[in-house]
Structure 1
Amino acid sequence: MKKSLIALAVLAASGAAMAQSTVTLYGLIDASIQVVKTPSYNTTTGALTSLSQTNLTSGGQNGSRWGLKGSEDLGGGLNAVFDLQSGFNVDTGVSGQGGALFGRHAFVGLSGGFGTLTFGRHDTSYDDVKGNVLASANNSFDAANGAGVSAATYATIVNPAATAAQILAVANIYGANTGAWTGYNSRVNNSIKYQTNNYGGFSAGVTYGLGEDKTATVKATHTLSLNAQYANGPIGAAVAYQEETLSKTAAKTVYLKNTLIGGSYDFGVAKLYAAYNQAKVTDIDSQKESALGVSVPVGALTLRAEVARSKGDLLGKNSGYDLEALYDLSKRTTVYTSYVSTKHEVVDDKRTSAFAVGLRHKF
């Protein structure tokens, strides 16, 4: 009898523990047929031309991914939390983010009345809010999207005796960039992230990435990313800053610094967006970037449009626009069509453009 009572007590305790813990499998699959026009360097004639290609592409509106996330109630309002998210290319089946198993993010931590503190690989705090102030939500067809620029790319642009291969490399980088903005690294390894709770619409976050590459003569690199935002009713506003290391030597460390301010206002019939960003590379370049956009819901249909531009010391003027239409077949499945076109001065004002028809499914 006593053994039966003990067994029942163990089962009851186990059931209570299970009730206080959750694990969720989730994901998103996005595939589109795209016609992409990019600058291309002709090694025979030495001229920049345009190349048009039709692709089946993964991740148009959102990067395809699957993940596991969960929490455990530790009592007293404290929870253990984790999230493992793996990116993949649905067109080929291979892993994204360089083949990392959980390349989108992987972290574990604690949450409670103080906010959420996690450790691992994260989306940066800058990236958390950038999409909130852009009409096209920082997707692949966003006119304010950016491919990101490395220190090596800047060095190639500066070099007046650039070889054909170097010019081609620059053209390919900007050919892949369908947006007018410079870009940044949206994820950081070996990082600690803190996110406050929401207080009447106000919240803030910070992410710090440890470079873990210190040597006897050179200090370790780092990534620092901060945000503060307000979202309440029709009003949204955000400021964000990100500082990341592009290269380092014993004599000098080169940083890319992005400072963003933006906002939105929802009129019900339409939501307006505005954003301004300044991207600086230590002693090399400074880009002033802006975007204006609108999103219009019409039942299950959402129409979006945006214009964006940037102007700087080395990369010159870049300007573009995008047009998008998304139709929800259900709460989880959306069909869409998108068009983006951008002119890049750094590749002789050649245009990059992409037209796509796609399908996105969430689970």
Structure 2
Amino acid sequence: MKLRKRKVWMAMALSLAAGGARADGLQIYGILDNSLEYLSNASVNANGSKASVLRASNGSQAPNRFGFKGSEDLGGGLKAIMQLEAGFNLNTGLLQQGGRMFGRQAYVGLQNEWGALTLGRQKNLIYDAFLELDPLSYYSYSLPALDAQFVGKADNAIKYSGNFNGVKIAGLFSTGYDASIANGAQVPGEWRVGKEYGVSVGYANGPVNVSLTYDQQQGTSVATQGTTTQRVAAGASYAIGNWKPYVGYQWYLSNVPGVAGRNELYFAGVQYRPVTEVILSGAIYYNNITSANQHPYLLAANAAYLLSKRTQLFAEVGFSRNQNGSNLGVTGYGMSVVPGSNQLGVAVGLAHYF
């Protein structure tokens, strides 16, 4: 039954692409990214010794995806807009985001000079703001490794975003941000279950890019709906010739069972383009987890060489430092790392955009 549903969705997507080509225009796009990766202290053998791993790693530079994006001119400066975007594992062909067909984005909306109003599964506001404010541009050894919400999406979301001469404002409300739980978190009579709220303000013009974002999620069950997970994130970058330094901060507080805690995340880094074809980046991410008296950090660097406008070679190296039982791996907390152990990661790969 699941396979049949997926075939139906694929047929609908291809039909949409064929029909859209005759309208105002439908863009078909995607990213194919794969690498060979080495990780130290990735697991523990039966004899108690720590083991490293050499593996094919999917989406080291950018998560693999394909999508459809289109618009229709309705007149008077008003446009209908839509986007469908699927994430998948290049090594296995399996869908990501819990098996959702269009798990990365799936929305429809209206747009004019006053901004865009969209409805569906969408990126949260932290994702929107910090993709441009992460020194390592969301490579696998970067900001999302410290907090997955930096690449978070919200189901059942209504989002507004506007840009007024560089001043950016946005707001998001989700009636149930995770449809993988019972009733899609939209439980009759239980208003707060699974809700997500977000607001963001920023300025991007010329060399300057700054952003301040607030995000709040309610517990995803009737019993936990009164609990909250809150984040306040701020970041900035400034281009100086071929250099672009970055700084950022995030405050996190949660009393939701299973993820409860308090921490402060600090990061800083720089990008450098000595020539057009080369991008060099480096950063440090430090997490002060006050609720657990842990202070892990991640040091990372990467280099990309653009073979063309759509194809590039890349290499990245990362080192995560753990203490007091923390389990930060170079790709994320609890991700292929022995708790309390440091980890070295190295990846070399190829990415193609279409």
Once the two structures are superposed, residues 160-196 of structure 1 have per-residue CA deviations (whole angstroms, 9 ceiling, x without a partner) of: xxxxxxxxxxxxxxxxxxxxx3432610101111111
1:344 is the counterpart of 2:310: no
CA RMSD of aligned residues (A): 2.2
Paired with 1:340 and 1:291, the residues of 2 have a C-alpha distance of 14
Paired with 2:314 and 2:190, the residues of 1 have a C-alpha distance of 52
1:199 is the counterpart of 2:190: no
Q: SS of the counterpart of 2:95?
A: coil
Report 1 or 2 for greater relative contact order, CA contacts < 8 Å, sequence distance ≥ 6. Answer: 1
Equivalent pair of 1:272/1:294 in contact (CA under 8 Å): yes
Alignment match, 2:197: 224
Paired with 1:358 and 1:205, the residues of 2 have a C-alpha distance of 35
Alignment match, 1:210: 175
Q: SS of the counterpart of 1:132?
A: coil
Equivalent pair of 2:192/2:226 in contact (CA under 8 Å): no
1:1-363 correspondence runs (5 A): 21-40=24-43, 50-142=50-142, 144-146=143-145, 181-184=146-149, 186-196=152-162, 198-211=163-176, 212-216=185-189, 219-250=192-223, 253-282=226-255, 284-299=260-275, 300-312=277-289, 313-314=291-292, 316-345=294-323, 346-347=326-327, 349-363=340-354
Equivalent pair of 1:20/1:73 in contact (CA under 8 Å): no
Q: Which moved more, 1:311-320 or 1:235-244?
A: 311-320
- 1:225 Cα deviation after fit: 2.1
- 1:272 Cα deviation after fit: 0.2
Please tell me the residue identity of whatever aligns with 1:297. R
Percent same amino acid among aligned pairs?
A: 27
- 1:217 Cα deviation after fit: 6.4
Paired with 1:98 and 1:251, the residues of 2 have a C-alpha distance of 22
Q: SS of the counterpart of 1:127?
A: helix
- 1:247 Cα deviation after fit: 4.2
Equivalent pair of 1:321/1:341 in contact (CA under 8 Å): yes
- 1:353 Cα deviation after fit: 2.9
- 1:37 Cα deviation after fit: 2.5
Structure number, greater radius of gyration:
1
Equivalent pair of 2:167/2:202 in contact (CA under 8 Å): yes
Equivalent pair of 1:182/1:279 in contact (CA under 8 Å): no
Please tell me the residue identity of whatever aligns with 1:267. I
After superposition, the Cα gap between the structure-2 partners of 1:264 and 1:118, relative to the gap in structure 1 and judged at 3 Å, is same
Paired with 2:21 and 2:35, the residues of 1 have a C-alpha distance of 40
Equivalent pair of 1:126/1:226 in contact (CA under 8 Å): no
Please tell me the residue identity of whatever aligns with 1:353. L
- 1:221 Cα deviation after fit: 2.2
Please tell me the residue identity of whatever aligns with 1:239. L
Once the two structures are superposed, residues 127-181 of structure 1 have per-residue CA deviations (whole angstroms, 9 ceiling, x without a partner) of: 1111222210222111x333xxxxxxxxxxxxxxxxxxxxxxxxxxxxxxxxxx3
Q: SS of the counterpart of 2:144?
A: coil
Please tell me the residue identity of whatever aligns with 1:30. D
Q: Which runs of 5+ in 2 are unaligned?
A: 1-19, 177-184, 328-338
TM-score by length of 1: 0.79
After superposition, the Cα gap between the structure-2 partners of 1:42 and 1:123, relative to the gap in structure 1 and judged at 3 Å, is same
Alignment match, 1:11: none
TM-score by length of 2: 0.81
Q: SS of the counterpart of 1:145?
A: helix
Q: SS of the counterpart of 1:21?
A: coil
Paired with 2:234 and 2:263, the residues of 1 have a C-alpha distance of 14
After superposition, the Cα gap between the structure-2 partners of 1:247 and 1:190, relative to the gap in structure 1 and judged at 3 Å, is closer
Alignment match, 1:176: none
Q: Which runs of 5+ in 1 are unaligned?
A: 1-16, 147-180
Paired with 1:135 and 1:117, the residues of 2 have a C-alpha distance of 29
After superposition, the Cα gap between the structure-2 partners of 1:315 and 1:362, relative to the gap in structure 1 and judged at 3 Å, is farther
- 1:241 Cα deviation after fit: 1.3
Paired with 1:38 and 1:256, the residues of 2 have a C-alpha distance of 31
Paired with 2:190 and 2:203, the residues of 1 have a C-alpha distance of 43
Paired with 1:316 and 1:127, the residues of 2 have a C-alpha distance of 25
